[in-house]
Amino acid sequence: MEYSDKVFDHFTNPRNVGEIADASGVGEVGNAKCGDIMKIYLKISDDGIIEDVKFKTFGCGAAIATSSMATEMVKGKSIEEALKLTNQAVAEALDGLPPVKMHCSVLAEEALRSAIADYYRKQGKDPEAIMGCS
Ligand code: FES
Ligand code: FES
């Protein structure tokens, strides 16, 4: 199995690790395949920009590297742009993942969507109507 330099870099030196105490939205998801867990915290401005994002992952190296890259890719972006981020795009930004580890990258995408859904709920909005998921 081969990992790219970028995967190694983000695994050994992950960006945006931690928590946000007064987060606008928090998402937590588990990977059914391995039981790994990821939590993502978002700080969203009044005009819908992701000002800060932090994550915690109890998971494998690929999950940590994809979370790290995903947080970098959505920081400073609008919610709409963040919702367009796919696990494939994150994997590509890392110069690829071994095929058997692709499912690990889904964790970051799902945790991000879950945190945005939580944000909408806290705003009194229905995430299902806005995002097509709950
Ligand atoms: Fe086990 Fe990713 S779920 S290798
Ligand atoms: Fe579980 Fe990779 S082994 S997310």
CA distance 97 to 123: 36
Q: Is 34 labeled as catalytic in the residue annotation?
A: yes
Beta bridge partners of 30: 37
User: 63 alpha carbon to ligand 2 midpoint, in Å?
Assistant: 6
pTM of the model: 0.92
What separation in angstroms does the CA of 133 have from each of 79, 109, 113, 114, 127?
15, 13, 9, 9, 7
What topology does CATH give the domain 5-123?
A: Sufe protein. Chain: A (3.90.1010)
Question: What are the domain boundaries of the chain?
Answer: 5-123
Q: Which atom of ligand 2 is nearest to the CA of 34?
A: 1
Instruction: Locate 69 and state its tokens.
Output: 């890259």
CA distance 115 to 41: 7
Instruction: Locate 87 and state its tokens.
Output: 């696990």
Q: Whose CA is nearest to atom 2 of ligand 2?
A: 104
The tens place of each residue's pLDDT in the chain, 134 residues long, gives: 689 999 999 999 999 999 999 999 999 999 877 889 999 999 999 999 999 999 999 989 999 999 999 999 999 999 999 999 999 999 999 999 999 898 899 999 999 999 999 999 999 999 988 887 54
